[in-house]
Amino acid sequence: MNLIIQGQAKEYDDAATINTVLETEKVETPEYVTVSVNDELYDVREFDKIKLKDGDSIEFLYFMGGGC
């Protein structure tokens, strides 16, 4: 199936989950990343349960704190 990962088209197995994509794309600190699939945010506890579909768009988001 075709997925759009961070704006780039990539080919994945039909059984791919969010965890599959995180591992394949070698995402650093996956425990701290928020994943958006078609603009819907998912909790890290759901990553292995969410089956992706052909044409899904996946974005990795990192929220950072800062200040004094």
68 in any annotated domain: no
57 in any annotated domain: yes
Its pTM stands at 0.86
32 in any annotated domain: yes
Residue 42 sits in a domain whose CATH number is 3.10.20.30
At 48 the pLDDT is 93
66 in any annotated domain: no
At 63 the pLDDT is 76
- Read off the pLDDT of residues 12-28 as tens digits, 9 standing for 90 and up: 999 999 999 999 999 98
Range of the domain at 30: 2-61
Question: If we measure between CA atoms, which residue out of 12, 39, 17 comes closest to residue 61?
Answer: 39
49 in any annotated domain: yes
Give me the number of domains the chain comprises.
1
Q: How far is the C-alpha of 28 from the C-alpha of 44, rounded, in Å?
A: 14
Token pair of 58 as six digits:
């996946």
Q: How far is the C-alpha of 44 from the C-alpha of 42, rounded, in Å?
A: 7
In sequence order, which residues have a C-beta less than 8 Å from that of residue 24 and are 6 or more positions away? 12
| CB contact at 8 A, 58 and 3 | yes
13 in any annotated domain: yes
